[in-house]
Structure 1
Amino acid sequence: MSYLTDLATDIEKLKQDGRYRQIKVWESGSDTWMHLKGRRILQLSSNNYLGLTHHPKLKEAAIAAIEKYGVGSGSVRTITGTLDIHDELEMELASFKGTEAALVFQSGFTTNQGALSAILGADDVVISDELNHASIIDGIRLTKASRKIFAHKDMNQLEAVLKETQHHRKRVIVTDGVFSMDGDIAPLPDIVHLAETYDAIVYVDDAHASGVLGKNGKGSTDHFGLHGRVHIQIGTLSKAIGAVGGYVAGAQLLKDYMIHTARPFLFSTSQTPAVAATCLAAIRVLKESPDLVAKLWDNANGFRASLQRLGFDTGASETPIIPIIVGDPAQTMRFSDRLLEEGIFAQGIVYPTVAMDKGRVRLIVTAQHTEADLAFALATLEKVGREFGLI
């Protein structure tokens, strides 16, 4: 068939460019050390920031939920798919985030799709940082709103856009809290100040800030002390929380509106009871375990500083996301493959996810990495980095 021929041609081009990847099939659960083709590999690309995937309280909660509710919810939320465990999770999330209400979706990706398409209409304008996540970009594409992009963290350009869009009904500024490819933090206080000056709505996606920034991992709003001044907070349950899902935290009226208008919420079966119970247990663990977040930051800051002393280019990183900038896509993937040969999994990320000349391996340091783990990682990175002329 001709369409398969076209696909084969496109795949061959990916291979020629050095950008073709086969999915790795891991033989163990998400952890600091994982098994791949019978080998024990140090994991430096996992979003399991706090190591909660194996926490005993989370596993106990999941098993108890299966015993009580079974393995599925049986429906979408608006029919029979809202169980008391879902309601309890949303109340716990709202309390944790310091908002009136929270609404849970099946993933962080669908959360952005559902929220943005629900709140934005043809008379509105959405103003988005150029490096926002793909789920934000796709969510914006689903709306009929006007679209404006401002250069990454450029507050002068953001202000200029706010000035020229005053005729729109609503102006919604959208930003990641922590940017997933570079590991830098949004200038949220400046964004909030401009929003208040020009009567705009602030929408923050905290996928990589949930469980990472703020007291007990409450996110970027808490990190900057901006409670009550950020209108819409998007969080994930798929990274530091250790399970899967996403949520919107904000006003009760916002929740009520999205229940009636957010299509991923309306037309997707709700989280399994085990997942909802796991997420609920994780939030409670976070409230009781400030040491986990502190350990995460100690590991990340120390490891980043050591990489920089060796001479690696870690870009704009200021969080546990630490890229090593390589540049050329094919060279980036070879560097990633060479690290795997030495026992470290560090995912290569290249165009179109990042700019053509900004290929990098993206390292993520977790709270569960030991001093020995990180010492092995540094020694290996130094060896392979010298082979590739990166240091």
Structure 2
Amino acid sequence: MYWMEKELELMADASLERSLRTSNSVSGSPGYTLRGEQVLLNMSSNDYLGLSQHPAILEVMREALLTEGAGSGASRHVTGNHMSYRRLEEALTDWQNCEAALVFANGYMANSGVISALVDRGDVVFSDKLNHASMVDGIVLSRAEHARYRHNDMEHLRTLLNKYRDKRRKLIVTDSVFSMDGDQAPLRVLAELKREYGAMLMVDEAHSGGIYGGRGEGLCHELGLQNDVDIHMGTFSKSFGVYGAYICGSRTLIRWLVNKARPLIYSTALPPSIVAGISKSLDLVQKEHWRRERLYAAAGLFRSSLCDAGFNIGAGNSPIVPLIVGDNDTALRFSRALEEEGIIAVAIRPPTVPDGTARIRFSLSAVHTDKELINAAERIHSIGLRLRVLSP
């Protein structure tokens, strides 16, 4: 194991070693978390709509736990496909206005399972360079050719589509909102290129589902592009405040995945209590429009505060706000200073982001108040001056 120790030493020297820290929820305060005895403003959670502690969700999960047990008992192909799955997938079909839906245990399994089920040797996948690791791993598992295009560079994508135009199957995959930058994919252009080159288009709405669209359906619906997307993926672990993932599309697609998606076939099904919680959350996401409105307002306020202070926060209007500092060690020191000031905001470093773009990734929630955000921005400004991320 000597080689591991040496590699870990190199990672530590480059401020790249990671460790696990314990955090606990604060009952009744979804915008806060507990570390040790310190209550901290949580600005690193993906609980965008503040639903993770919603009493109605907790109650239906409690009831399902008491009536249906702690676990599902088997995979969905054996005896784990409880009736609650059917009800949830019917509700998802209605919500997304599609033909069929399929629930997976989590987003990683959904992305890796779907991609590896759709393409194989002799095929090609066109993937944005900043796509989530689950997509990258799905492409590797598929054994298809991996054609990575520069982030949101549609001319580069067109060049690659021309290069591989004779491949048997062509699949374009992209995040709709990118998890580390908070910017959006050029979905209109992607839809045009998909049609022009006869490709399939898969969009990951993990960080836009629940947030965009009239009923929280996601960015594709907000732009009126839902019928141009062949494989629509989203998660229940962010805006929905629960756990799991979904795929929406044609009946043929879902039939294919039921037979070919290995993470679905060979994994134990989600417990009925989780599925019940998702169903309730889906209902709340559609009905409680004020949560999206509050989130938009919070994102606008916080973004403008950091921008006015002179920070580099990139483009976009999403609740993901990256404060780019560049240096790994500076990002770690910034994160530690924030915690001392009562704020959790994690340092993101390579390989999660490209070299030289280490950052503090802020994630906003509908439960954050204006007062909390203004106070946080003031503390961030002070730390930025102290660490010389900002000029005086």
Measured against the shorter chain, the TM-score band is over 0.9
Runs of 4+ that moved beyond 4 A: none
Please give the per-residue CA displacement for 1:98-137, whole angstroms capped at 9, x wherever unaligned.
Answer: 2111111111001011100101122321111111000000
Please give the per-residue CA displacement for 1:271-308, whole angstroms capped at 9, x wherever unaligned.
Answer: 00110000010100011111111111110011101110
User: 1:68 — aligned with what?
Assistant: 67
Q: 2:281 is aligned with what amino acid? A: A
Q: 1:253 is aligned with what amino acid? A: T
Higher alpha-carbon deviation: 21-30 or 314-323: 21-30
CA distance in 1, matches of 2:304, 2:24: 32
SS of structure 1 residue aligned to 2:322: strand
**Match runs of 1:10-89 below 5 Å:** 10-29=7-26, 31-89=30-88
CA distance in 2, matches of 1:9, 1:163: 44
**TM-score, normalised on structure 1?**
0.97
User: 2:296 — aligned with what?
Assistant: 297
1:328: how far off? Answer: 0.7
CA distance in 1, matches of 2:158, 2:18: 41
Query: Would you say the 8 A contact 1:19–1:333 is kept in 2?
Result: no
CA distance in 2, matches of 1:159, 1:352: 27
Query: Would you say the 8 A contact 2:301–2:370 is kept in 1?
Result: no
SS of structure 1 residue aligned to 2:91: helix
CA distance in 2, matches of 1:166, 1:321: 35
User: 1:121 — aligned with what?
Assistant: 120
Query: Would you say the 8 A contact 1:65–1:273 is kept in 2?
Result: yes
CA distance in 2, matches of 1:217, 1:135: 23
Q: 1:178 is aligned with what amino acid? A: V
Q: 1:124 is aligned with what amino acid? A: D
Please give the per-residue CA displacement for 1:253-280, whole angstroms capped at 9, x wherever unaligned.
Answer: 1111111110000000000011000001
User: 1:281 — aligned with what?
Assistant: 280
How many residues are aligned here?
388
Q: 1:25 is aligned with what amino acid? A: T
CA distance in 1, matches of 2:336, 2:320: 20
User: 1:7 — aligned with what?
Assistant: 4
1:315: how far off? Answer: 1.6
Does 2:322 match 1:326?
no
CA distance in 2, matches of 1:288, 1:27: 29
SS of structure 2 residue aligned to 1:142: helix
CA distance in 2, matches of 1:169, 1:233: 22
User: 1:379 — aligned with what?
Assistant: 378
CA distance in 1, matches of 2:136, 2:120: 16
CA distance in 1, matches of 2:57, 2:299: 24
CA RMSD of aligned residues (A): 1.2
1:57: how far off? Answer: 1.3
Query: Would you say the 8 A contact 2:123–2:168 is kept in 1?
Result: yes
Query: Would you say the 8 A contact 1:317–1:323 is kept in 2?
Result: no
CA distance in 2, matches of 1:98, 1:333: 44
1:67: how far off? Answer: 2.1
User: 1:335 — aligned with what?
Assistant: 334
CA distance in 2, matches of 1:39, 1:375: 21
Structure 1: runs of 5 or more not aligned:
none
Query: Would you say the 8 A contact 2:305–2:374 is kept in 1?
Result: no
Query: Would you say the 8 A contact 1:215–1:223 is kept in 2?
Result: yes
User: 1:217 — aligned with what?
Assistant: 216
SS of structure 1 residue aligned to 2:334: helix
Query: Would you say the 8 A contact 1:172–1:202 is kept in 2?
Result: yes
CA distance in 1, matches of 2:128, 2:12: 31
Query: Would you say the 8 A contact 1:216–1:293 is kept in 2?
Result: no
1:339: how far off? Answer: 0.8
Query: Would you say the 8 A contact 2:298–2:364 is kept in 1?
Result: yes
1:31: how far off? Answer: 2.2
1:318: how far off? Answer: 2.6
User: 1:157 — aligned with what?
Assistant: 156
1:78: how far off? Answer: 0.5
CA distance in 2, matches of 1:213, 1:27: 29
Q: 1:251 is aligned with what amino acid? A: S
Query: Would you say the 8 A contact 1:210–1:236 is kept in 2?
Result: yes
1:325: how far off? Answer: 0.5
Q: 2:17 is aligned with what amino acid? A: Y
CA distance in 1, matches of 2:215, 2:368: 19
CA distance in 2, matches of 1:16, 1:122: 40
Please give the per-residue CA displacement for 1:118-169, whole angstroms capped at 9, x wherever unaligned.
Answer: 0112232111111100000000000121221111111111112222222112
User: 2:97 — aligned with what?
Assistant: 98
CA distance in 1, matches of 2:76, 2:168: 31
**TM-score, normalised on structure 2?**
0.97
* 1:89/1:317 CA distance change after superposition, 3 Å: same
CA distance in 2, matches of 1:236, 1:28: 21
Q: 1:17 is aligned with what amino acid? A: A
SS of structure 1 residue aligned to 2:146: strand
Please give the per-residue CA displacement for 1:40-92, whole angstroms capped at 9, x wherever unaligned.
Answer: 11110000001101111111110111122111110000010100001111111
User: 2:361 — aligned with what?
Assistant: 362
Please give the per-residue CA displacement for 1:185-218, whole angstroms capped at 9, x wherever unaligned.
Answer: 0000110011111211110011111112222321
